Amino acid sequence: MPQSDFDYVIVGAGSAGCVLASRLTEDPAVRVLLLEAGGSDKDLRVRAPGLVGLLWRGRFDWTFFTEPQKHLEGRRMHWPRGKALGGTSSINYMIYMRGHRDNYDSWRDAGNPGWGYDDVLPYFKKSENNTRGADAFHGDCGPVTVSDVVGNPLSEMMVEAACEATGAARNDDFNGPTHEGFGRHQATIRKGVRCSAGLAYLRPAMTRANLTVESGVLATSLVIEGARATGVRYRRGGAEQTARASREVLLSAGAIGSPHLLLLSGVGPAAELKALNVPVVHDLPGVGKNLQDHLLGPMAWRDRSGITGNVSPLPLIGWLARWGYDKTGPLASNVCESGGFIRTKTSEPRPNLQFHMLPVGSNQESFDKKAFEPKGHAFSILPTLIYPESRGEIRLRSADPAAAPAIDPRYFESERDLDLLVEGAAIARQIADTGPLKKARGEPLGIVTNAKTDAEVRAAMRRGTNTIFHAVGTCAMGNGESAVVDAQLRVRGLQGLRVIDASVMPTIVGGNTNAPTIMIAEKAVDLLKQA
C-alpha cells in the first residue's frame, strides 16, 4: 500500500477544507494534502449563480436521503451535499448570513471559551471582501467576495410587503448591528460568478508547491496508533493508499462525512460499533449525535403582474447569452434575493423565524423526488424554522466506507417545531396579501399554500416541508460527556486529530450556515498555529 508523508492531511475540500488548505500553505515550509471525493468545480452550472437549481442529483451532489421520517408521513427526504471542490459552497444558494450574535455567545457560555461573538467577528471579517467596503462589522480584504444582488423587482416588493404586514423594520445588513427585520440579501457572488470556497480560497492556493490536492478519492478510515491519529487511508478506484500526517489529521468532511469517517475508524458509541463488527478504537458516545437542521415551508403564488422571470427554455437561452457576454442578467442572481427575521412573540429573546423570498415558485409538494420545477410567473415566501428543538443522528448503516450512513434528523419529533412553521405559514400569507404584493398575487401553488385551517396546514407541512440543507452539530464542541471536540476542536481522548467544519457547532446558528463554517476554519488555522 503506497504511503506519503505530509504535515497535515485534510479530509474534505468543502467550505472549511478549502480555507485550511489555503491558509496553512501560506507558510511554504508546511506540506498539506487535501483529499476530496468529488471532482472539478469548473462547470457552467456551478459558475452561473442562477443555474443553482440544476446542481442537485448529479455529479456535484452526494444525493443523500434520510431515513423514513416518522412525523413526515414516512418520507425519505433528499439531502443535497456538495461533492466537488468547494463542497456545498459550490451548490448552495450563496446567501451570506452569519446568524445572531447570541448564537456564538451561547457557545461560549456553554463551556467553549474563545467562541463568543466578539471572539469570532474578526474571523468573519478576515474571510470577507464586501463590495460595500469595510466597517466595524465587515472586511474588504478577504478571499470571499460578498456583494449586493441586482435582481428581480418583485424581490423588493416582497420586502416592502413583509415590513408592512409584520411591522418589522427594514434591514439593509443582516450581518451588521441588528439581525431582525426584512431586506435584500448579500451573496457570495463575484462579478456575476459564484464565489465558492473553491474559487475564493483553493484555486489560488493550488499553484503552491507545498499543497497537493487529490480529488476523486474516497477516505476509508483514519490511521490511529495508540491514542494518536497519524494518517488517513483512502481509495482511488480499486487502489488503497495511506497518507501520513506528521502534525495533525483535519476532518472537514461536513456534518455527515466527518462523523461517518470517525465511526468507520472505530471512534464513536462503542455499542453501535460492536453491533456492526467495527473494532472499537475509542468509545466516544457523542459522535453522530446532536444532528440539527433548518426546515422550510414551501409556499408560492402565481405572479399575475408578470414581473417575475418566466423560467422556460426560450427566455433561458437569452439569459445564458447575456450571462456569457458580461455576467449580468437573471443568471447573475442567486435567486433567493430577499428575506428576513422576526420574533413570533415579543417575549422571544431573538428572532425565531426566518423567511426566504424568491421571485420564482412551484406547486410541488416537496423536493424529495425531483429538482425544483418553476411554475411560470410566480413567487415564493418560505417560512423557515431556525432553532429546532428536535435532534437527530448520523449512524453507520454498514462498515463499508462506500455505503452512505443512516441519516435520521427526526424532524418534528418536537411538536413545537411544527407549531412554529404553522405560525410562519400564516405570516407568509399575510405578507402575500399586503401592499404591492396583493396586486401581484395570483392563485396559490402547492398544498401548504392551498391549505385553509391550521389543521390542514399542519398536515400539509408534514407532506411538504423541506430541508434547506443546513446540517450541523454531529461532532459537537464542548466539555461534557456528549461532546466530541473541545474548544480547540481537538477530538476528545485522541491526539493529532481535529474536526473543523459545521459538525462542531454545539447548537445551530439562526441563519444560513456557509459563512459560519468558513469562520470556524479561519479561527481553526490560528488554533493550529498556536499548537
Residue of 337, 348, 345 whose CA lies nearest to 148: 337
- Contacting residues for 142 by C-beta, under 8 A, at least 6 apart: 125, 126, 127, 128, 129
Half-sphere exposure in the Cβ direction for 427 (13 Å, CA): 29
What type of residue is 43? Answer: D
Residue of 370, 381, 332 whose CA lies nearest to 148: 332
* Helix, strand, or coil (residue 34): strand
Query: Any idea what the Cα angle at residue 31 is, between residues 263 and 504, rounded to 5°?
Result: 35
In Å, how far from its chain's centre is CA 268?
24
Dump the DSSP string for 231-250. Answer: EEEEEETTEEEEEEEEEEEE
Among this protein's residues, is 470 annotated catalytic? yes
- Contacting residues for 302 by C-beta, under 8 A, at least 6 apart: 361, 375, 376, 377, 378, 441, 442, 443, 445
pLDDT at 515: 98
pLDDT at 369: 63
* Residue whose C-alpha cell reads 431556525 in the numeric block: 386
Q: Which three cell numbers, joined as nine digits, stand for 480?
A: 461534557
pLDDT at 3: 64
Q: For 327-409, where are the alpha helices, taking DSSP H only?
A: none
The answer to whether 104 and 120 are in contact (CB under 8 A) is: yes
In the chain, the domains with their CATH numbers are 1-68+79-101+198-292+394-401+470-531 (3.50.50.60)
pTM for the whole structure: 0.97
Burial (Cβ within 10 Å: 0-12, 13-18, ≥19) of residue 148:
middle
> How far apart are alpha carbons 115 and 104 in whole angstroms?
6
> How far apart are alpha carbons 375 and 362 in whole angstroms?
5
* Number of other residues whose CB lies within 10 A of the CB of residue 324: 12
pLDDT at 531: 86
DSSP 8-state code for residue 88: G
> How far apart are alpha carbons 262 and 134 in whole angstroms?
40
Q: Which three cell numbers, joined as nine digits, stand for 82?
A: 456538495
The answer to whether 262 and 251 are in contact (CB under 8 A) is: yes
* Residue whose C-alpha cell reads 400564516 in the numeric block: 426
Residue spans of the chain under pLDDT 50: none
